[in-house]
Amino acid sequence: MEPTQLFELVIAMLLAIIALHYAAHRLGLPPSVALLAGGALLAFVPGLPAITVDPGLVLVIFLPPLLMDGAWAIALVRLRRHMIGIASLAVGAVFFTCAVVAVVTHLLFPSLPWAACAALGAIVSPPDAVSARAVLERVKLPRRLQILLEGESLLNDASGLVLFRFAVAAAATGSFSAVEAAASFLVLALGGAVVGVVVGTAWVKFVRRLGDEYLIIAATVLLAWISYLLGELLHVSGVIATVTTGLIASWHQHTVFSAATRMRGTSFWTVMIFLMEASVFTLIGLSLRDVVERGGGFATVIATMGLPMLAILATLVVARFAWVFASDVVIRLCAPLGFNRAKPLGAGGATVLSWAGVRGVVTLALALSLPEEFPGRDFILATSFSVIVGTVLVQGTSLGRIIAWARLVEPETERARLTMSQAEAAMAQAQLGTIQNLAYDLEGNLIHPQLLERYQRRATAIVDYAARTEHYIPVLHAHFDVVLEAVATGRRELIRLHRAGDIDDETLQELERDLDLEELSAISAKA
């Protein structure tokens, strides 16, 4: 394919992403479903060149920033609080699922070597960070389940990658050592964490010295690939390195970013991640053509592999249910013995957690990276793709109904000590204290009376609002509706003045920025 054709194809794919997202929004479907289906349909458009996905390149391009975005957004305090549960899912559930899938695959195909069965288990066992985000952004979950799923999706790729590497090596050498695999996993994980700490700390020190907001944004965008590639270069877990770096950067960004840097950087990053997530699902759909052709066509794939693929998909679901419910039983049994840190999820919470194991880009990339001569490669490819499609289409679309059925309630221990309005009241009191100290000169003369009055009035109003939030909400919404109308009127007048030539572009941009900030503030206050 010519470079110009490749570029045209990329532009066409981006346009298709916008159209598919819009269609999903209008039809009430998860965007991941529309993108996956749209990509699969585009793969068979007559005249469209075959899309060959380089698995290593896909992982390097897409995985680091998506992992960084997840680590950046995750609540670090709750992550630490639920680390045992996250580790159980990210390590225990992955290893358990891999073993169960390997056993079932060997029962279905006794002639297939155990190493190949284990490779399939390693490929399909870790739920995907991208797919999990695509599903979770459309549903409302209690904080504990949200953090368990987000933390699992960030860390379980490391477990799956270690198992996959050992399975492929075992297929080539004919030997496998569980002790060696466990030791390698610890080395990779700890090494990745060390790399992440070093890169994250260096980023904090570097950003403090840059000063230019565009350089800061560029350095932050590159941070994901730097940590991932450095981890892989040192033969440790690039996944763990990226996640650790993201957690450190997220913790410090509140102090090293200016307001302008944060607003501009967040806007750029949000659009970039949106395009990357959407591209991943579209590429998965486009890869269907290659998978089907390798299997001999749709009819051949369905006739020879249909039932085994369904069996593997069912095995994945059952294995995850078994692990989650067994873990919940263990937590209940340990409670009388004094182990009260972890609380059981209950049947509803365990069901939701079990059903949310959606697979995606990592599964596809690992399957495509298998050597050409690997035993059972065509079956592994077809099964991996069917697992992605099945989990996204079935579990992704039905998770909302499962959550509604479960009627989950947020435990008191997961609720923050202060509400939003109470936090605002605390901020207003602290700001008032500073103004009271600075409003007078050294002789005790009041030199900022209007500023002091403004902050006193604001602190009094916010404290009163925090005490009677429900009473003020209707009035508050009406108030900011008027503010938004005033902003819209001001914007129309500003544009009229510019169109008439009464003001120049610089004045337009400055005043428009002020209106934008006022509008965002009003929208945020209404939410």
CA dist 30 and 135 (Å) reads 7
Q: What are residue 110's phi and psi, to 5 degrees?
A: -60, -25
**Structure tokens, 296:** 């001999």
371-406: b or e for each residue (b if 16 or more CB lie within 10 Å)?
A: eeebbbbbbbbbbbbbbbbbbbbebbbebeebbeeb
CA dist 431 and 428 (Å) reads 5
pLDDT at 426 exceeding the cut of 80: yes
Averaged pLDDT for residues 444-456: 88
pLDDT at 48 exceeding the cut of 90: no
Higher pLDDT, 346 or 342: 346
For residue 497, give the DSSP letter: H
Q: In Å, how far are 27, 430, 436, 451, 455 from 433, measured between CA atoms?
A: 52, 5, 5, 12, 9
**Structure tokens, 54:** 């380089």
CA 451 to chain CA centroid, Å, is 43
- Ranking 191-205, 217-231, 258-272 by mean pLDDT, the lowest is 258-272
Q: Which pLDDT score, from 0 to 100, does residue 193 have?
A: 93
Higher pLDDT, 516 or 397: 516
The percent of residues in the chain predicted with pLDDT above 90, rounded, is 18
**Structure tokens, 431:** 């700001």
Q: Which pLDDT score, from 0 to 100, does residue 120 have?
A: 92
Residue type, 376: G
pLDDT at 38 exceeding the cut of 60: yes
Q: Which residue has the tokens 């065509």?
A: 378
Q: Which pLDDT score, from 0 to 100, does residue 76 have?
A: 78
CA dist 128 and 94 (Å) reads 12
Q: Give me the chain's average pLDDT, please.
A: 84
pLDDT at 66 exceeding the cut of 70: yes
H helices of 74-142, in order, are: 76-81, 83-87, 94-108, 114-124, 129-136
Contacts of 504 (CB under 8 A, 6+ apart): none
Domains within the chain, CATH numbers bracketed: 52-414 (1.20.1530.20), 420-526 (no CATH)
Q: Which pLDDT score, from 0 to 100, does residue 411 have?
A: 64
Q: In Å, how far are 49, 381, 382, 385 from 294, measured between CA atoms?
A: 16, 9, 9, 12
Q: In Å, how far are 105, 254, 303, 379 from 309, measured between CA atoms?
A: 10, 47, 11, 8
CA dist 39 and 194 (Å) reads 39
Q: Which pLDDT score, from 0 to 100, does residue 416 have?
A: 65
DSSP string, 170-187: HHHHS---HHHHHHHHHH
Contacts of 460 (CB under 8 A, 6+ apart): none
Q: Which pLDDT score, from 0 to 100, does residue 132 have?
A: 65
Higher pLDDT, 185 or 484: 484
Nearest CA to 67 out of 241, 230, 303, 286 is that of 241
Q: Which residue has the tokens 């690992």?
A: 366
For the segment 142-167, what is each residue's pLDDT rounded down to a tens digit?
778 888 888 888 888 788 888 888 88
- Ranking 40-54, 176-190, 232-246, 341-355 by mean pLDDT, the lowest is 40-54
pLDDT at 3 exceeding the cut of 80: no
Residue type, 448: H
The C-alpha angle with vertex 16 and arms to 360 and 269, in degrees rounded to 5, equals 65
Within 13 Å and on the Cβ side, how many CA atoms surround 97?
A: 33
For the segment 69-118, what is each residue's pLDDT rounded down to a tens digit?
888 878 777 788 888 888 899 889 999 999 999 999 999 999 898 889 99
pLDDT at 254 exceeding the cut of 80: yes
Contacts of 71 (CB under 8 A, 6+ apart): 154, 242, 243, 244, 245, 246, 247, 250
Q: Which pLDDT score, from 0 to 100, does residue 466 have?
A: 78
Q: Which pLDDT score, from 0 to 100, does residue 197 have?
A: 96
Q: In Å, how far are 230, 364, 489 from 506, measured between CA atoms?
A: 43, 49, 20
CA dist 125 and 291 (Å) reads 20
Contacts of 6 (CB under 8 A, 6+ apart): none
The percent of residues in the chain predicted with pLDDT above 70, rounded, is 92
For the segment 465-495, what is each residue's pLDDT rounded down to a tens digit?
777 777 777 877 888 889 889 989 998 998 9
Q: Which residue has the tokens 């695959």?
A: 105
CB atoms within 10 A of CB 296: 14
Binned at pLDDT 50, 70 and 90, residue 322 comes out as very high
Max distance between CA atoms of the chain, in angstroms, equals 93
Nearest CA to 72 out of 13, 128, 154 is that of 154
Output 294-300 pairs: Cβ under 8 A, ≥24 positions apart: 294/378, 294/381, 294/382, 295/378, 295/381, 295/382
